[in-house]
Amino acid sequence: MKPSLALSRSVLLSGLLIGSFAYAGNEVDTDPSIPVGSLAVSPTVVQAGTKPSLAWNIMFPKTISEVVHITPPGKLTLLDDYYVDVQIIGSSVTTSTSGQAASSVSYPTDARMSVDGGSYVQLFYGTSADVNPSSLLYSKKLKKGCTINFGGRYVVNNAWSPFYTSLSSNMQVVSLVNGDTPPTSFALDKSATLASFLKPYLDSEGKIKIGPLNVLVLMELGQTDHSESSYDLQDQVLLVTFRDKNNNGHGNNLDGVDSSNPGNGKGGPNGSVDPSAGVDDEAK
C-alpha cells in the first residue's frame, strides 16, 4: 500500500467521525448538552506496512442533579468542586402613578449572596436600567459541599423592604432548573405582566428553559399572598452557571468590584461606599 493511500484512509476515517466527535486538542470549554468526544490518531503519517493507533473518548453530558443539590425553596449545595458564575437577568419592582401624567416608577432592587453560611454580600443594586445580563456579578471556584443562598429586597420611600432569602420557607426566593414550572397560582407565561427579560427563559408550556448546568433564581420581593396575580416571582431574577473549567477571565469580589474590574460600590439607602476595589479575590 502506498503511504499516501494509507494516510488518505486515516484521514477519511477521521472525517467520518468529525460530525460526532471533536479532535483531541480541541478542548470542550463547557459541558456538552449531547455526547461528544475526541479522536487521536498516532502516528498522523502512516508508512507502508504499518497501522495507525486510534484512541477515542466519549464525554457524556452532566445533569444539574449531578452538580448541585437544591434544598427547597432555593438553597444550593455543590456536589463537587465547580466554578460558579452569577448574572442578573432582570429587575422589575415598579409602581404606577395616576393622574394626567401617569407613569411607571422603577424601584432599586438589591441582590445578595451567601456562601457557606456567611453574611449576605451585595451582588447588584439598581433599577431595571442598571441591569446588564452579559456581566458577571460573581465568578469563583467553590469546593465540594459548599452551600450557596441568595436574597433580595428593594428600596421604597428611602427605606428597605423586608429581606427574603432562599432559606425562607415562604417561597419568596426559589431556585429552579430546566423543565421546572414556576410556582405561581397562574400560568406565568400567559400573564399580561410577564417581564420581557423572563420570556426567553420560559418554553411554550410555561416551563423553565435554561441550560443543563444552570439554575434560575426567581424572587418575589413584594407580594406574600401566593394566590394573588402580583405574586409572579419576577421582581429580581438571577442566572447561576456551574462549570468545571476556568474561563481564564477576571473574576470579581462578591460585590462585583475588585482590582481587575474596578468600579463604584453601591450600598442602597445606607449610602455606604464599597471598600474592596483594591482586592482581587478571584480563585485562579
DSSP string computed for 131-146: --TTS-SEEEEE-TT-
- What pLDDT score was predicted for residue 248? 46
| Cβ–Cβ under 8 Å, residues 127 and 91 | yes
Least confident residue range of 195-199, 218-222, 243-247: 243-247
Higher pLDDT: 86 or 276? It is 86
Higher pLDDT, 200 or 9: 200
At 102-111, the pLDDT tens digits run: 457 889 999 9
Q: What does the pLDDT average to over 134-163? A: 96
pLDDT at 159 over 90: yes
Mean pLDDT of 114-123: 97
Q: Residue range 247-270: average pLDDT?
A: 47
* Residue 130 clears pLDDT 80, i.e. is over it: yes
In b/e form, how buried is each residue of 138-162, taking b as 16+ CB within 10 angstroms?
Answer: bbbbbeeebbbbbbbbbbeeeeebe
What value does the mean pLDDT of the chain take? 78
- The reported pLDDT for the residue numbered 244 is 87
Confidence of residue 177 (pLDDT cuts 50, 70, 90): very high
69-77: average pLDDT:
97
pLDDT reading at 81 higher than 50: yes
Mean pLDDT of 70-79: 97
**256 pLDDT exceeds 70?**
no
Q: Who wins on pLDDT, 31 or 200? A: 200
What is the percent of the chain where pLDDT is above 70? 69
Confidence band for 46, pLDDT divided at 50, 70 and 90 = confident
CB 263 within 8 A of CB 135: no
Q: Among 245, 256, 244, 243, which Cα is nearest to 282's?
A: 256
pLDDT at 273: 37
Cα–Cα distance between 73 and 174 in angstroms, integer? 5
Burial, 202: exposed, middle or buried (Cβ in 10 Å; 0-12, 13-18, 19+)? buried
- How many percent of the chain have pLDDT more than 90? 57
Provide the pLDDT for residue 186: 96
Q: Which residues make Cβ contacts (< 8 Å) with residue 223, sequence separation at least 6? A: 230, 231, 232
Q: What is the pLDDT of residue 58?
A: 63
